[in-house]
Structure 1
Amino acid sequence: MEKYQNILVVIDPTTHEQKALKRAIELAVHTKAVITAFVSIFDFSYEMTTMLSSEEREVMRKSVISDREIWLDDVISGIETHDLTIKTKVIWHNRPFEAIVEHVLNDKYDIVIKGTHQHDKLKSVIFTPTDWHLLRKCPSPVLLVKDHQWPKNGNILAAINVGSDESEHQSLNHKITEEAVNLSKIIQANVHLVNSFPGTPVNITIEIPEFNSSQYNDSMLQHHKEAMTEHAAKFEIPVENTRVEEGLPEDVIDRVSQRLDAELVILGTVGRTGLSAALIGNTAEHVIDRLNCDVLALKPEGYISPLAS
């Protein structure tokens, strides 16, 4: 069955320009998915005022939700929807990421699409706490949308870790690559694979002066290149579409994505430590922060959200 049949789009209530919704429509045009446009709102002043009874507060809440539903319908009516089914959901919740994850768990969405915030003065992207919480706690794939276009015949970059024989690594590499290949067919793009590996630890060269760091790096490079070639062959990805480079993941992934002018980077993230195949916590955040294209973050197989009851 075609992937991405059920898409949850997180709507930004502070702007009329909804890039996440437009991206979801772009995807759904190919997969004929049902899109749910989701808004979570909360106004502290209504909750805190002692002047209102609980019934009056409930009436106020319903009124605010109703206003937001009208606004959301207006936003959708101003966008080319290609006759797709777009449902709307507005709920009152003081922690947006919890509201989103709860809906993913209840309604089994295939993917969550959310826009990032542009900082006008700095001309850079600002990630909100909601973004980071979703990357760490949302069980479904999360697509963070920036302002980069998705042209036909563009490039998708899948960031994997082929240097380890651990089954958890292999499984996540497989999942990331499979997602890239699947998406490339949907949006007619080319798949590229990237793998970074660490250079010689500085303390070794200091403690063991006769240690040959360049020989070590060469053998590491060779080992990763062979593993990469073998992995790429399983997915019929040509070896010229693979990159293995020494350095920190955030440097290597950023550098290669810029070189390719990639419109999408796919990587694995995980909210708990102990699984080094994924980019854990800060590393994932450093990578995502620096990329000027969309990022699709996947969880390892068997991942259970801490919000799952």
Structure 2
Amino acid sequence: MMDYQKLLVVVDPTTDRQAALARAVKLASANNASITVFLSIFDFSYEMTSILSGQEREAMREGVVAQRKAWLDDIVEPFKTDNVAIETEVIWHNRPFESIIQHAINGQYDVIVKGTHEHDKLKSVIFTPTDWHLLRKAPVPVLLVKDHDWPVAGKIVCAINVSSEDETNQSLNVKIIKHAKKLAKQFDAQVHLVNGYPGTPVNLAIELPDFDSHSYSETIRYQHEERITYLANAYDISSDFCHVREGLPEDVIPELAEKLDAELVILGTVGRTGISAALIGNTAEHVIDSINCDLLAVKPDGYKSPLDEA
């Protein structure tokens, strides 16, 4: 699962500069891995033209696909090395995220790598960007790449959730740390654990005059620190690299990532769909727009994508 032997790289058709491909080649080179560079395209105008026969439409589609394939092959050429096999794939599909996830499932890929940029906050309420769909519905880890470089002896931040002790959550924490340790070894990086804990509920302090909010807050902090230290010890991570802060994860994680000048944040994401996802959003989604480094999102073991038809 954490071998990164098969990487699916999603390219951005609007630019020749492919940060995700460059990052994937770096990841793959140490593992003798294979990369598929993937582009999903669709042009509604070709589907709407009633003047054309089905055969003519098909021929035009094939022409567009061939054109994009040639462009993709040119993009890929400079990245080819002896120990990384790269192939290209162009698919005609009207929903990019679906074609990406289905390709990842069918090809049994280990990770999806995709370039990202800041989302327009208003638009993302109406149109859910492909990134968000991938975070929610892809069964494999998703690496969203920004322009921030991965230096030698850099820092990887693991967003750990210790407020719940259920098994799914605990195994997700372990999975996050294992991904971080593997990448840290490959890139000679430090692994940091970060955790945000909730502050004192205001209504408690108001309704109970004798309520000692300071000692309540200290107890919560101590509990979180204890659990983080336990995890750090189990995976040989220095206590100096454990960061427990009061606040929401979507505030605490970006703040720490910026302070450390981290190259990568790794967090767990649970696939939520429907109304709860639209209203509450997902910590990962809030974090994407607030960090200036890469983000690796991993799902709990046994997660099954709603798009997995098998």
TM-score, normalised relative to structure 1: 0.92
How far is 1:117 from its partner?
A: 3.2
Q: CA RMSD in A?
A: 1.6
Residue of structure 2 in register with 1:124 after alignment: none
Matched residue type, 2:175: K
Where do 1:49-60 residues align within 5 Å? 49-60=49-60
Q: Secondary structure at the match of 1:289?
A: helix
| CA–CA distance in structure 2, aligned partners of residues 2 and 175 of structure 1 | 9
Residue of structure 1 in register with 2:29 after alignment: 29
How far is 1:80 from its partner?
A: 3.5
Q: Secondary structure at the match of 1:270?
A: coil
Residue of structure 1 in register with 2:173 after alignment: 173
| CA–CA distance in structure 2, aligned partners of residues 104 and 283 of structure 1 | 24
| CA–CA distance in structure 2, aligned partners of residues 151 and 95 of structure 1 | 35
Matched, 1:301 2:301: yes
How far is 1:163 from its partner?
A: 3.2
Matched residue type, 1:82: T
Change (3 A) 1:2 1:178: closer
Matched, 1:80 2:79: yes
| CA–CA distance in structure 2, aligned partners of residues 290 and 134 of structure 1 | 18
How far is 1:128 from its partner?
A: 6.7
| CA–CA distance in structure 1, aligned partners of residues 8 and 301 of structure 2 | 21
Where do 1:86-125 residues align within 5 Å? 86-117=86-117
Residue of structure 2 in register with 1:213 after alignment: 213
Residue of structure 1 in register with 2:184 after alignment: 184
Matched residue type, 1:72: L
Unaligned runs of 5+ in 2: 120-126, 274-279
Change (3 A) 1:229 1:264: same
How far is 1:22 from its partner?
A: 0.4
Q: Is the contact made by 2:269 and 2:299 (CA closer than 8 Å) also made in structure 1?
A: yes
How far is 1:285 from its partner?
A: 1.1
How far is 1:118 from its partner?
A: 6.1
Residue of structure 1 in register with 2:17 after alignment: 17
Q: Is the contact made by 1:162 and 1:231 (CA closer than 8 Å) also made in structure 2?
A: no
Cα displacement string for residues 123-145 of structure 1 (whole angstroms, at most 9, x for unaligned residues): xxxx9710100000000000000
Q: Secondary structure at the match of 2:79?
A: coil
| CA–CA distance in structure 1, aligned partners of residues 118 and 218 of structure 2 | 41
Aligned length: 295
| CA–CA distance in structure 2, aligned partners of residues 156 and 117 of structure 1 | 20
Q: Which runs of 4+ in 1 moved over 6 A?
A: none
| CA–CA distance in structure 2, aligned partners of residues 270 and 110 of structure 1 | 18
Matched residue type, 1:81: K
Unaligned runs of 5+ in 1: 120-126, 274-279
Residue of structure 1 in register with 2:133 after alignment: 133
Q: Is the contact made by 1:31 and 1:186 (CA closer than 8 Å) also made in structure 2?
A: no
How far is 1:308 from its partner?
A: 1.0
How far is 1:206 from its partner?
A: 1.2
Where do 1:261-300 residues align within 5 Å? 261-272=261-272, 281-300=281-300
Matched residue type, 1:37: V
Q: Is the contact made by 1:271 and 1:281 (CA closer than 8 Å) also made in structure 2?
A: no
Q: Is the contact made by 2:13 and 2:39 (CA closer than 8 Å) also made in structure 1?
A: yes
Q: Secondary structure at the match of 2:144?
A: strand
Matched residue type, 2:12: D
Cα displacement string for residues 166-197 of structure 1 (whole angstroms, at most 9, x for unaligned residues): 11111111111111111111121110000111
Q: Secondary structure at the match of 2:40?
A: strand
Change (3 A) 1:153 1:29: same
Q: Secondary structure at the match of 2:36?
A: strand
Where do 1:239-254 residues align within 5 Å? 239-254=239-254
| CA–CA distance in structure 1, aligned partners of residues 105 and 79 of structure 2 | 29
Q: Secondary structure at the match of 2:57?
A: helix
Q: Is the contact made by 1:2 and 1:31 (CA closer than 8 Å) also made in structure 2?
A: no
| CA–CA distance in structure 2, aligned partners of residues 40 and 194 of structure 1 | 36
- More deviation in 291-300 or 178-187? 178-187
| CA–CA distance in structure 1, aligned partners of residues 27 and 49 of structure 2 | 43
How far is 1:208 from its partner?
A: 1.1
Matched residue type, 2:194: V
Matched residue type, 2:76: I
